[in-house]
Amino acid sequence: MKKKTAMALAAAITMAFTAQVSTASAAKKTKACFVYIGPVGDFGWTYQHDQGRQAVEKAFGDEVETAYLESVPESSEAQRPIEGLARSGCNIIFTTSFNYMDPTNKAAKKFPDVKFEHATGFKREYPNVSNYSSKFYQGRYVQGQIAAKMSKTGVAGYIASFPIPEVVRGINSFILGAQSVNPDFKLKVVWVSTWFDPPKEADAAKALIDQGVDIVTQHTDSTAAMQVAAERGVLAFGQASDMIKFGPKTQLTAIIDDWAPYYISRVKAVMDGTWKQVNVWEGMAEGNVVMAPFTNMPDDVAKMATETVAKITSGELEPFTGPVMKQDGTVWLKAGERADIGTMLGMNFYVKGVDDKLPQ
């Protein structure tokens, strides 16, 4: 019996090796490729990007082929995977995390015929590199308002990843939104130095709740914080994706990143031969930042949130409008003054009310 199994196994292996190694090269398809920081199953940031990829497949059917690499580290180690995709015949490559910035530009130099799209960065050293991002901070402002209405302790907790401008901007926008409702509202911040690490994110949520916060929000990619908040009976905001499944009685709303329209339009541009370098930073008005349904809150709070979304969408309201003081009490924006785009993109200071020292 054993002998037979062994022989069958040996035969199988021999067959396998003599089998022809397939070299897939179909007719001229456009190949769109994606590099992800986390697993596609993070149900947050990367999940949303992958939804965008699937939308591209759905939109163009047989005319496109897509590929992706997940859990690619943000370092010089990202160079090989990005170039690997370029070598494998990708026509357009979306690199979807901030620190892929230098490797993306380096790859763009080596592969001038491939189009590169780097999310959330600012370097476009070659004509075949574009930047795209969304004004997530607009959603943070709405969340801040909701938090101030819903919190009993007057303190919210914020799980932050890296002290880069995008994250600092979100924190500031959140507290400005909260202060527009309750001027004394406070915000505690925990830095976890990772985008995706569910146990660490969960620990941060626990630590914040132990310090008396009753609203948890995050700038990390997993659903761990939402699940901890649900266990501990406090409220939370979903991040990057609708996380209602992980906290049906916990999630107030979520900022949903909808990348599908952008991905479809950029892949289309490659197919039509009209692709040009761009630097896109869009928000609620363009449909890139979407709020999940306002749940687990009274109607008047939901109404307020809906109105704020409408005002931001129409441009009537800009979260970073004076009077705004910096954390140290000095004036940043005078009454009615709006922040200039340079300061917005390079934001490296807290506004008043954040109970934390910004790691500098």
Partner 1 sequence: MTLFLEKRANYSRLFSALSPFLALGLTLVFGTIMFTVLGQNPAEALYIYFVLPLTDAYLIEQIVLKATPLILIAIGLSVCFRSGNWNIGAEGQYLIGGMIGSLIPVYFNDFQSPIVLPLMMVMGMLGGAMYAAVPAILKSRFGTNEILTSLMLVYVAQQFVDWLVRTPWRDPQGMGFPGTKRFNESAVLPDLLTNGEAHWGTVFAVVAAIGTWFMLSKTMKGFEVTVLGECPRAGRFAGFDAKKMTIFAFLFSGALAGLAGIAEVSGSVEKLDDNLSLGYGFTAIIVAFLGRLNPLGILAAGLILALSYIGGEEAQIVLQISNRATNVFQGLLLFFVLATDTLIHYRIRLEFGSSVKGAS
Applying CB under 8 A, the residues found at the interface with partner 1 are: 9, 12-13, 16-19, 21-22, 39, 67-71, 73-77, 79-81, 83-85, 87-88, 98-99, 122, 162-165, 168, 193, 345-348, 359-360
CB of 226 to partner 1, least distance (A): 23
Instruction: Sort 127 into a burial class: Cβ within 10 Å, 0-12 / 13-18 / 19+.
Output: exposed
Least Å from the CB of residue 136 to partner 1: 17
Q: Tell me the one-letter amino acid at 333.
A: L
Residues, the chain: 360
Structure tokens belonging to residue 343: 């300061």
Q: Which is nearer to partner 1, 12 or 310 (CB)?
A: 12
55: three-class secondary structure by DSSP: helix
Least separation in angstroms between CB 25 and partner 1: 12
C-alpha 235: how far from its chain's center?
21
Residue number with CB closer to partner 1 (119 or 142): 119
Q: Which CB, 21 or 27, lies closer to partner 1?
A: 21
**Are 31 and 91 a contacting pair, CB within 8 Å?**
yes
Min dist. Cβ of residue 225 to partner 1 (A)? 22
67 vs 325, which CB is nearer to partner 1? Answer: 67
Half-sphere exposure (Cβ direction) of 93: Cα atoms closer than 13 Å:
31
Partners of 216 in the β-ladder: 157, 236
Question: Whose Cβ is closer to partner 1: residue 231's or residue 281's?
Answer: 281
Inter-residue contact 296 to 230 (CB < 8 Å)? no
Q: Residue 331 Cβ, how far from partner 1 at the closest point, in Å?
A: 21
